[in-house]
Amino acid sequence: MVCLEHMSEMAVIEGFCLKCKTYGPIKDGQLFKMSNGRTRMGGHCSQLGCTGKISKIVS
Ligand SMILES: [Zn+2]
C-alpha cells in the first residue's frame, strides 16, 4: 500500500502568520534550500481572506 508514503509527503507544516497573528497550516508550501544548507518552507497563510505569507525553517 502506498497510503503511508502518500501521507508523509502530504504532511502539513504549520507556521505563524505575521499578518493575522495566527498559527496554522502553510498553504501551497514549497521547500527552499538556503545558502547555509538548511531548508525553509515558504507558502501562504491558510486563514480565509488573509494574504499573508508564512516562512518556516524545517530542517
Ligand atoms: Zn494570515
Neighbours of ion ligand 1 (CB under 5 A): 17, 19-20, 45, 47, 50, 52
Give the CA dihedral 37, 42, 18, 23, nearest 10 degrees: -100
Q: Where are the beta strands (DSSP E) in 1-59?
A: 14-17, 22-33, 39-45, 53-57
For residue 41, give the C-alpha cell. 518552507
Q: What is the rounded average pLDDT of the residues 24-37?
A: 94
**What pLDDT was estimated at residue 24?**
94
**What pLDDT was estimated at residue 11?**
72
Confidence (pTM)? 0.72
**What pLDDT was estimated at residue 9?**
54
Domain boundaries defined on the chain: 12-57
Bridge partners of residue 32, in order along the sequence:
40
CA 46–ligand 1 middle distance (angstroms):
7
CA 4–ligand 1 middle distance (angstroms):
30
The answer to whether the beta carbons of residues 20 and 33 sit under 8 Å apart is no
**What pLDDT was estimated at residue 12?**
82
Give the model confidence (pLDDT) of 11-28 as tens digits: 788 999 999 999 999 999
